[in-house]
Chains A and B, each alone.
Chain A
Amino acid sequence: MAEKISLSDLNKTLTEMNVQSLEGLKIEGDVEIDLEMGAGGVGPLFAYYFGQEAAKIAMQLINFAKAVGYPVETLMQPVAVASAIAPAPKDLAAAAAAVPAFKVASALASAKFSVGTDKTWKHPIQEVTLGATKADGGSRGHVVKLGGEKAMPFFPDAIMPHAPKITMDVFDMPIGMAKAVKMHYEDVINAPGEWAKKAVKQFGADMVTVHLISTDPLLKDTPAQEAVKTVEEVLQAVDVPICIGGSGNPEKDPIVLSKAAEVSQGERVLIASANLNMDWEKIGKACVDNGHVCLAWTQLEINSQKELNRKLMKVAGVPRESIVMDPTTAALAYGLDFAYSNMERIRLGALKGDDELTFPMSSGTTNAWGVRESWMVRSPNKDDSDWGDRMLRGPIWEILTGYSLAMAGVDIFMMMHPQAVAYLHEITQSLMGRIEAKATDANAWLKMGV
């Protein structure tokens, strides 16, 4: 109910009314004043006597007088004063009497809340199975299912068939890692098999991703033939479904990933990844020939994602149930807004029926560790408040990066920090109603001791 007038308006009006000026009041700039026009402030009588505009000003002056300590209320009731000077016409007095004074309701109104669902969501997301058990020609202990959603994540419209999954990163050579991450892997950094075991047994990973980064011509340039031995090692070490990543080199990856697809034939691996800047066809075909799932990676651009998905299906012949998308994860404080909205748009588009987008999504959540706030000892800006302990900052960075993208529709997360993995599992499972907890008293926080 607050209306605003500015002091310059006030002065203008005062001048028009032949009021000289507000003595002793210096106006600098154009200050806005809030005027309370509530039922008790300015009623019809008051307005009648003073005119709407002037009434506002008079109220303001009275408030001003109050503010500087003048006992206005005890001395005068503005309406009473005005009325004493010139009694109001009868009909006006009647109108004033008819305005109900504030009256507390005698009982709560009865009301029912109801709201619909989103009727435009008609198309489910493709369900994709990763891993193959003996029965299906593989050697995995169980499979992991992604997709199948009929609504945005955790929305009441439809139950999510599968909880989001986490695949933890394993590298085929030691790489630079933030301190908070490295401390968990120091004992296994030269042993990918052991690394994978640790991720699954100790940290609860649903899957592991073997990154064959040593194949990068600028690193070790390991030949594909040799690099894929690490894949075999990891398949031996754990029985969860796996994902295989290259080095990101656009020339070498198609060769490396095709070879990796061959040695893991029948295991229904997630091959990461094909993108438009490389020979995606070769990678797509390797997936088809060996029964794998292809990760289609694009960079924050919904139309490129559609193009790549289309090409993988139409040209490389990858079946719908063998595509997962990675629309790129820009991390918290480093472009998360783009990643978030891009994914949310993709998922909404898919639910509305864009069949070039109806695939599960993957997030390279580990990117969170590239953001300075996650790993730097202290702020480079000396005027920032203390950044605190980086060992605490890093994991929360990875958690929030992953979690917010879970809200946008991500089905599988590539992650590194064990605590981040645990929290992301816990919150996503909670929002699916899968975790029981003792009910807390909704009002207890008010009197809480901490």
Chain B
Amino acid sequence: MSGYLTGVLVVLAFNVIAAYAVYLPMAAGQLNLGIAGFMAIGAYGAAFLTNEYGWSMLAAVPVASAAAGLVGLVIGFPVLRTHGIYLALATFALGQVIAAVFLNLEVVGGAAGYTLSAYAGPYVVFAAAIGVVLVMLYLSRTRFALYLTAVKSDPTVADLMGISVRGVQVAAFALGAMVAGFGGAFYALHYNFVEAQHFNVLLSVFTVLYVLFGGAQTVWGPLAGAMFFTLAPEALRFGEQWRYAIFALFIILFMAIRPQGLITTSLFQGFRRRSNEASP
């Protein structure tokens, strides 16, 4: 594999993981605009544990992701009291606060950044991303995923059916935070350097865009969205100066024509019906 291709695929892997971190709460109807903050917790957590305590990656990554998940859980309860634009604002602010904390934390280098000695190669990163996709596929086959959709679709009725709407929402938010932390941990371990400035608003917003573009109705949407956003700009390299403008224009047009995203449930049903008709 060429160095260029490997580099692109590593970025893709991180984008896929991040997309699923946003997807989980979004499947339950919650917009998390602060996903970069949770990535930062995972990244700094893994960096700190491997550097200062000499932990192995195998121990540092789960603990760092769990820490991100825990912060998501604790903060999810009050934050998820808000809805719509207020929730977006609250999570946005949260992401900023987390990044600001790391920016000012001298034990992890502050604004100068923090260099790691442990290293995760590209294949480890690929395996991590594939692992996340597999776990998501598994979850999508369970009642948990069903309840995410139910809670998003009609919280009043879900509640009357006995489903804990807040429980489901907080769980999705915290799980998403954990996935973000997982991705962040490998990000730090792969690039061997973390700086708080990387985990900025743009990173959060872009990740949300992957999911909106790919579609939040099915588990395949985030994967499709992350692939498109990572690979399409590379494919457009011929028109170097205009590629981002062309790309942005395309996104705007696409979202206007297909606001529910690339991959939808009705798309799958269409496939299913066609294959049913084909078989006797």
Chain A complexes with chain B = no
